[in-house]
Chain A
């Protein structure tokens, strides 16, 4: 298990991490969420020793992370970058060798990952000759080519088209099934909800919400009710009910055990009820509540 425990880091007057803790379990996918500047990238860099925390520790299976352990981890930084003039097969094999694979193993692993990510036909192309999306796939291949026990991916889905997103999500799921602990950050919360079992939401360098996505949703005291009458959103004011307009959607905010039958009756009295949705908060709602923005 990857453990970040009570990490604190200041850069001059700026507090980047303020007692952040998280745990990433083998075989599970952890969504690492937070608004811009919350400290996600700093925390990820701490895992690889790229930033030294002022306080706290990073450990794998109970031990501090040394150079040998770090080689078993995979990292895809937020700021993408590879060698523009190097052929991609050479490039992926090079990073495999740097991670400790022997020459032949590295070449085989590079071919396998390029195939899996759908860029095998460009193996002999220079990186700069590839589209942005394909460059991103190569970047992921470099992070995963040595079959890491932990994959830390900073915004891996950013800039990908829907097919690329689907491919990458499948790859992450397969990796998790194979036992890798995956931590990734993203601002695409629907995608996170779809891919991740666990989330940690941070703000101002500290955790504000953490747990299994399904459990967090289920245990939330809030429920959202969305009603359509005759195919149109039903927006009538109901005494004693709060409502919220989010992304063009009108929803009523209720408690988990609220009695919704009277509301259904009210709506039915005005026409045919074509939609009546009473559900726990989505991850987006949880996120917004957690960071209070």
Chain B
């Protein structure tokens, strides 16, 4: 049997045993379930905003309804208008929550509990404009005269930076979600590797395994098996997220193409980041034999990864900020920061490739270093093994 086939066999055991564990399945079902209901919930919440019904009662100037609709379009508020036969009927509808406001003639706006400044502005502005049009018509003013009278000064608008679009907003949200998923996944599955290594040492089974395969194979096999498990979870989570957001049609942009790019970036940077950190976790796991020592041993990778989360948030604000740009090349942080920059900004391809080359090279070095620590520590039971002692013992 070739060493590669053995390594895959080791990975297969780790993958299938953990996949079959009740804890993993329940966690997976729970998180995917939560993600799947997010879309409908947001859509429902947005739906409430859209249903702002205006009840009209009594006399208003001709063209008032059309003018109110124009005002609402200008202020980007979705409204609907319904005319009621009596004030009592309109107030009943208001009390029942079917309408947001009652317009009583031209004298009174009636709200249920709290007046809405937006609705007041839309309605009063709309009715006032309708009245102005009538007066202008009576005075024999032309359309141009009226325009000049109503809008004597008009500003044009421009922005220094490209104007933010709805697509940018969607990308921002995607980048934030991606940052959180990457951060959590690298931590969680990295710690799975540490726990797996520690358990094999604690139960002494590792000596039986090492009588058949080399230590580095065991470590690589574990990283592969647990990593594949993480990939399954990321694809399931990311897929559920794209499905629910697209199905609920939460934005007027091409959510599917953004989603596929998001998932692609998530997978690439998860694989790179997880692989990098899992060798650190694996080597440290070999130095401990007890569950109680795990927290202390896991401290180092946590301290390394946490700044990456903050640099990722900086990149969310500005993908080209110098500190975020620099952090996106440093292998301990690039999985999160470059993922955010690539999602929100237009990062040149060479920058992405450079970050990938740097983390791959560093990981190759880590495999050797981690393998040596693992080899030197894995058969030493009892107290936590110091890294220096593990390093020296690797040739024993």
Contacts and interface: CB of A to CB of B under 8 A. Distances in A.
B3 A73 contact: no
Interface stretch (A81-89, A198-206, A213-221): A81-89
B395 A83 contact: no
A14 to B, nearest CB: 12
B13 interface: yes
A100 B1 contact: yes
B211 A73 contact: yes
Interface in A33-86: 45, 48, 50-52, 67, 70-71, 73, 75-77, 79-86
A98 interface: yes
A214 B213 CA distance: 38
Q: Which of B9, B207, B208 has the most CB of A within 10 A?
A: B208
Interface string A119-132: 00000000000000
A52 B6 CA distance: 22
A97 interface: yes
Interface in B203-223: 203-214
Contacts of B396: 11, 51-52
A95 interface: yes
Contacts of B159: none
Contacts of B3: 67
A274 to B, nearest CB: 50
Given A82-B205, A83-B203, A97-B9, A48 B211 contact: yes
Interface centre among A85, A98, A99 (most CB of B within 10 A): A98
A79 B1 CA distance: 26
Contacts of B211: 48, 50, 70, 73, 75, 77
A94 interface: yes
Contacts of B207: 50, 75, 77, 79, 81
A80 B204 contact: yes
A52 B395 contact: yes
B9, B17, B212 — which one has the most chain A CB atoms within 10 A of its CB?
Answer: B212
Interface residues of A, number: 30
Interface string A126-159: 0000000000000100110000000000000000
A62 B204 CA distance: 31
Interface in B7-57: 9-10, 13, 17, 21
Nearest to A106: B9
Contact of A81 (B13, B208, B214): B208
A67 B214 contact: yes
B381 interface: yes
B80 interface: no
B208 A50 contact: no
B379 interface: yes
A79 B17 contact: no
A52 B214 CA distance: 13
A77 B203 contact: no
Contacts of A94: 9, 13
A82 B208 contact: yes
A143 B208 CA distance: 8
A46 B381 CA distance: 18
Interface string A244-286: 0000000000000000000000000000000000000000000
Most B C-beta atoms less than 10 A away, residue of A48, A50, A75: A50
A85 B210 CA distance: 20
Contacts of B208: 75-77, 81-82, 95, 139, 142-143
Contact of A86 (B6, B9, B17, B381): B17
Given A79-B381, A85-B17, A100-B1, A95 B203 contact: no
Contacts of A76: 208
A50 B379 contact: yes
Contacts of A50: 207, 210-211, 379
Contacts of B213: 98
Interface string A86-115: 100000001101111000000000000000
A99 B396 CA distance: 24
8 contacts: A50-B207, A52-B395, A70-B211, A81-B207, A84-B203, A86-B17, A94-B9, A98-B9
Given A51-B396, A71-B1, A83-B205, 15 more contacts: A11-B396, A48-B210, A48-B211, A50-B210, A67-B3, A67-B214, A75-B211, A77-B211, A81-B204, A81-B207, A82-B208, A83-B203, A98-B212, A99-B1, A143-B208
Sorted nearest first, the 10 A-B pairs with minimum C-beta distance are A81-B204, A100-B1, A75-B211, A81-B205, A79-B204, A48-B211, A77-B207, A81-B203, A98-B212, A82-B205
Interface of A: 11, 45, 48, 50-52, 67, 70-71, 73, 75-77, 79-86, 94-95, 97-100, 139, 142-143
